[in-house]
A and B are shown apart, each in its own frame.
Chain A
Amino acid sequence: MNHSRRTFFLLLLALLVPFVLRAQVTPERLLHASDEPQNWLTYSGSYASQRYSLLKQVDPSNVKNLELKWVFQAQSLQKFETTPLVVDGVMYITQSPNDVVALDPKTGRVFWIYHFATSPAARPCCGIVNRGLAILGDTLFMATVDAHLVAIDAKDGHALWAVKVADAAAGYAMTMAPLVVKDKVIVGVAGGEFGVRGFIAAFEAGTGKQAWHTDTIPDPDQPGHDSWRGADWEHGGAPVWMTGSYDPELNLTYWGTGNPGPDFNAAQRIGDNLYSDSVLALDPDTGKMKWYFQFSPHDPYDYDSVQVPVLANADWNGSPRKLMFWGNRNGFFYVLDRGTGKFLAGKPFAKVNWASGLDANGRPIATPQPPGEPTYPGIQGATNWYSPSYSPRTGLFYLSTWEDYGTIFAGVNVDYKEGTRFAGGANTSPIPGADNPGGIRQGPVNTYTEALATGGVVALDPQTGQRKWKFAMHDVNTSGILTTATDLLFVGGREGYFQALDARTGALLWKENLGGDIIAGPISFQVDGKQYITITAGNSLFAFGLRE
């Protein structure tokens, strides 16, 4: 090879290498996803799941100039709960039941759509929904409502492999975005209303071969099994239906588990019912559990603890510490040491009467209400699965809330029958004639109003558990939250408004009526030097940018 040809090839290589590297989402890039604020590489934006963006183009001084750039209308009337991925100039979303759509993030125009044919046996409890994707290399990963895991080529939308994770006919389903750690794709299963036995499983990203499987209810020869009586554990629930978080230094993933089964008749499952309503710390290489912490032992209220674990490194009592923040559906905000699972602090962030407080180990001091009297929070909780946010700049933890919301719980006996509902409850609203609180309105008219519940965004100081501020909403709030390095907070809500708040004070800075329930989380990204913020509302995905 002569000098000129060598020079040409070196030049070509120099031009191509960055492109090739740019096109591959390596494990290393995922480790530092938050350092690529132009992208959104994981469900929660980073392994720490803070949903905090370093982008600064949109700030409090110009946020009022946000305007609609494009809309993508989903070909589905199901709830639209997806969080997009944005990877080097391409956006990937899911639409019900299990389609993957590749979009131009500047125009909303579609590159391709992959359709997965879901089995009619699928029976997710609460809507045929999907919350998003994971990516590694050039491969996207989607968990399906009929409990399959599918790998899809990110360039052309063709399936590479698909594996059955669990039996949909038995009530198993998957609605979460998978979590990729190193060379593995990790998922959990839903089905807590059908008496499944929950588990988390990892699959080799290249082949779909199962690497490990960890049950969320221990076997008879395992520690914690004595928290069950007889054979109750076999249909004891503890599903995992939200994406976990990961600490690479500790090499631990963190997963929230859901309710024990049957949901409401705790008399049918004596004991603490481990590991329902808990956070589990698992080794991503082996699935081995390092520690657990149970938020709501022997739960009769369906207080799923599936919230996304938020990881932060911050001072605690004057010393740096690896912390985990958790705004739980049961109405308490928790701070844990994520290396050991040690309980550090816990305090109610909303109206709570099912427990008078937490003891020194974080165990609730239960105060069951008399029959016929409402329990606070109600079935849907003081918050639920909607992603919270943590801003390292403000040091505040932000979450969406249901305020002054109660349910009259009534457990009844129910026999387990595979594939049928195994809830065991006849629960009612404390408002005579009002909608059942579990199925609170689905439409543009607020038919229950403030009498049953209101909502809002609450900013908590993790050091004290105290509310720093609250942005009150007339309706309950089912939206995820995004914060930015310019101290903006973006949030939606049931009413269809998409709002920007001052993250330090809660003051309203901008709002737009998008006309449909917002039940997903906003994200931000940058393409061609322009920052965008997207959110789903109703059956559409809206993209906003600054007016030019």
Chain B
Amino acid sequence: MKMRCLSLHKLLLCAFVCSVLLSRGTNVRAQGQDRAPEYFQSDIQYGAQIFATQCTPCHGTSGDQIPGVNFRAGQFKRVVTDNDLRATITTGVPGTAMQPFAFGASELTGIVSYLRNMSSFDARGLMVGNVANGQALFAGAGNCASCHAVNGKGPRLAPDLGDIGTLRTAEFLHRTLLDPAGSMLPANRSVHAVTKDGKVINGRRLNEDTYTVQLIDEQEHLISLTKADLREFAVLKTTPMPSYKDKFSAQELADLEAYLLSLKGVK
């Protein structure tokens, strides 16, 4: 595979370019050698956007401009597995114009998902997400900033999302916005504890073992509790985060997802 090295940040800062498509079709089950068991539409669409800006200058929009390589036809020079694809993208191909790309995990998942499904991907109906609009929704109508910080700015009731774009795939973020309780990682669950002397402690779990639990409480104190000292202890499977399924339009969801995917940490 051959790509021309463009600035990723340029892509992410360009609100009209960075987009998340809204068509949520059926997931695609993989066939072939050592591929993911299925590819998700959100990841395919995220990959399509990255491909459009980063890869088409060399590979063309149909992915067939490099001799011996035709993405739509599944024709590669060296690649067999998904891991091969990831390795080729991140390390490049020495002696060719294919340069290494410093993509994060979510971006790699997107590109691989798109390349594996390029032949059946339909770009019609593409609705782009606007990063700036998404940021406004995050701080405003979405009320996300009342619990989540971004790179240390904001409350710590919920995890800081400053690098969420590197930690989560497009599909996972989409699913979380629609079904936050179902998608919440168990490690982030809320805990409710009552000490033997009656003190009530609520917070977000940071770590737990057989004898102790570590959490950040509602007053943003780091607390470590010994379970033997507690009268009550419960890990809650509910979350205060609302579902945005009926709260946001498809366009607004795309905007918010585009903003979250743009958050790559402080490095």
Q: Verify if B168 is at the interface (C-beta below 8 Å from A).
A: yes
**Given the complex, which residues of B lie within 8 Å of A433, measured CB to CB?**
168, 172, 183, 185
- Docked complex Cα distance between A372 and B37 (Å): 9
Q: Shortest CB–CB separation between residue A537 and chain B, in angstroms?
A: 14
Return chain B residues, CB-CB under 8 Å to A20: none
| B210 CB contact (under 8 Å) in A426, A452, A495 | A495
Are B32 and A434 in contact (CB-based, < 8 A)? Answer: no
Interface residue from A424, A426, A446 paired with B187 (Cβ < 8 Å): A446
A414-B34 CB under 8 A given contacts A431-B186, A434-B186: yes
B residues near A493, Cβ cutoff 8 Å: 210
B218 within 8 A of A: no
Closest A residue, CB atoms, query B172: A433
Instruction: Determine whether the beta carbon of B37 is less than 8 Å from that of A410.
Output: yes
Q: Are A412 and B209 in contact (CB under 8 A)?
A: no
Which residues from 161 to 193 on chain B have a C-beta closer than 8 Å to any C-beta of chain A? 168, 172, 175, 182-183, 185-187, 189
A473 at the A/B interface (Cβ < 8 Å)?
yes
Do B185 and A426 have beta carbons less than 8 Å apart? no
CB-nearest residue of chain A to B31 = A412
Q: Is A439 an interface residue (CB 8 A)?
A: no
Q: In the complex, how many angstroms separate the beta carbon of B78 from the nearest chain A beta carbon? A: 13
Contact indicator B35/A446 (Cβ below 8 Å): no
- Interface digits, A393-432 against B, CB 8 Å rule (1 contact, 0 not)? 0000000000000001010111100000000101010011
A497 at the interface (CB under 8 A from B): yes
Residues on the A chain within 8 Å of B208, using CB: 446, 449, 474
Contact (Cβ within 8 A) A475 B209:
yes
CA distance A414 to B35 in the complex (A): 10
Q: Mark each residue of chain A from 446 to 477: 1 if its CB lies under 8 Å from any CB of chain B, else 0.
A: 11111110000000000000000000111100
Enumerate chain A residues within 8 angstroms of B168, measured Cβ to Cβ. Answer: 433
Q: Beyond A432-B172, A495-B209, A497-B209, is A448–B186 a contact (Cβ under 8 Å)?
A: yes
Residue pair B172, A412 in contact (C-beta under 8 Å): no
A448 touching B211 by the CB < 8 A rule?
Answer: no
* Any B CB within 8 A of the CB of A445: yes
**Chain B: CB-nearest residue to A474:** B210
B235 at the interface (CB under 8 A from A): yes
- Known A433-B172, A445-B207, A475-B209; contact A428-B37, beta-carbon cutoff 8 A: yes
Q: A431-B186, A432-B172, A433-B168 are in contact. Are A414 and B33 (CB under 8 A)?
A: yes
A449 to B209, CA, bound (A): 9
Q: B258 CB to closest chain A CB, in angstroms?
A: 20
For B168, the closest partner residue in chain A by CB is A433
Residues of A within 8 A of B185 (CB): 431, 433-434, 447
Q: Which residue of B lies closest to A496 (CB)?
A: B209
- Of B32, B34, B182, B210, the most chain A CB neighbours within 10 A belong to B210
A444 at the interface (CB under 8 A from B): yes
Which secondary structure dominates chain A's binding surface?
A: loop
- Cα-based distance from A431 to B184 in the complex (angstroms): 10
Point out the residues of chain B lying under 8 angstroms from A413, CB to CB: 32-34
Q: Known interface pairs A412-B34, A414-B34. Does A432 touch B209 (Cβ–Cβ under 8 Å)?
A: no
Residue pair B187, A448 in contact (C-beta under 8 Å): yes
Q: Which residues of B contact A415 (CB under 8 A)?
A: 33, 80
Q: Which residues of B contact A372 (CB under 8 A)?
A: 37
CB distance from A465 to the nearest CB of B (A): 26
* B32–A412 touching, CB < 8 Å: yes
The number of chain B residues touching the other chain, given as a range, is: 20 to 34
B36 on interface, CB distance cutoff 8 Å: yes
A373 to B181, CA, bound (A): 20
Contacts of B186 in A (CB 8 A): 431, 434, 448-452
Task: Please name all residues of chain B whose beta carbon is closer than 8 Å to the beta carbon of A434 when the two chains form the complex.
Answer: 185-186
- Chain B 4-41 per-residue mask, 1 if CB under 8 angstroms from chain A, else 0: 00000000000000000000000000101111110000
The answer on a CB contact under 8 Å between A446 and B209 is yes
Whether B206 sits at the interface, judged by CB under 8 Å, is: yes
B-contact bits for A145-161, CB 8 A (1 contact / 0 none): 00000000000000000
Which residues of B sit under 8 angstroms from A473, Cβ to Cβ? Answer: 209-210
Give the distance in Å from the alpha carbon of A434 to the alpha carbon of B206 in the complex. 15
Closest to A411 in B: B37
- Residues of chain A contacted by B30 (CB below 8 angstroms): 412, 426
- What per-residue 1/0 map shows which CB atoms of A507-519 lie under 8 Å from chain B? 0000100000000
Q: A446-B209, A447-B187, A472-B210 are in contact. Are A426 and B172 (CB under 8 A)?
A: no
Contact (Cβ within 8 A) B210 A432: no
How distant is the Cα of A410 from the Cα of B235 in the complex, in angstroms? 32
Q: B249: shortest Cβ distance to chain A, in Å? A: 25
When the two chains form their complex, are residues B207 and A426 in contact, meaning their CB atoms are under 8 A apart? no
- Given A412-B33, A449-B186, A450-B186, the answer on whether A497 and B210 have CB atoms closer than 8 Å is yes
Give the residue name and chain of the A residue nearest to B176 (CB): A433
Minimum CB–CB distance for A492 against chain B, Å:
12
Residues from chain A with a CB closer than 8 A to the CB of B35 are 412, 426
User: Which residue among B33, B37, B205 has the maximum number of chain A CB atoms within 10 Å of its CB?
Assistant: B37
Within 8 A of A (CB), among B205-221: 205-211
Given A413-B32, A475-B209, verify A432-B183 contact (CB < 8 Å).
Answer: yes
- One digit per residue, 1 when the CB lies within 8 angstroms of any chain B CB and 0 when it does not, for chain A 185-213 equals 00000000000000000000000000000
> What 0/1 readout, one digit per residue, does chain A (128-148) give for beta carbons within 8 Å of chain B?
000000000000000000000
B174 to chain A, nearest CB (A): 12
Write the chain A residue with the least CB distance to B80: A415
B207 CB contacts on chain A under 8 angstroms: 444-446
Chain A residues with Cβ under 8 A from B33's Cβ? Answer: 412-415
Min C-beta distance of A125 to chain B, whole Å: 15
| Measured CA separation A426–B29 after assembly (Å) | 12
Query: Contact: B37 with A474, CB < 8 Å?
Result: no
A445 to B209 CA separation, bound complex (whole angstroms): 9
> In the complex the two chains form, is B235's CB within 8 Å of A432's CB?
no
Chain B residue at minimum C-beta to C-beta distance from A424: B34
Residues of B within 8 A of A432 (CB): 172, 175, 182-183
B208 to nearest A CB, angstroms? Answer: 6
Query: Are A475 and B37 closer than 8 Å at their CB atoms?
Result: no
> Cβ of B172: which chain A residues have Cβ within 8 Å of it?
432-433
| Measured CA separation A511–B183 after assembly (Å) | 36
Q: A412-B35, A426-B36, A495-B210 are in contact. List 11 more A-B contacts (CB 8 A).
A: A372-B37, A412-B33, A414-B33, A431-B185, A433-B183, A448-B187, A450-B235, A472-B210, A475-B209, A497-B211, A511-B211
5 nearest CB pairs, A to B: A451-B186, A410-B37, A495-B209, A449-B186, A474-B210
20 contacts between A and B (CB under 8 A): A410-B37, A413-B32, A415-B33, A415-B80, A426-B30, A426-B37, A431-B185, A431-B186, A432-B183, A433-B183, A444-B207, A446-B187, A446-B207, A447-B187, A448-B186, A448-B187, A450-B235, A473-B210, A474-B209, A475-B209
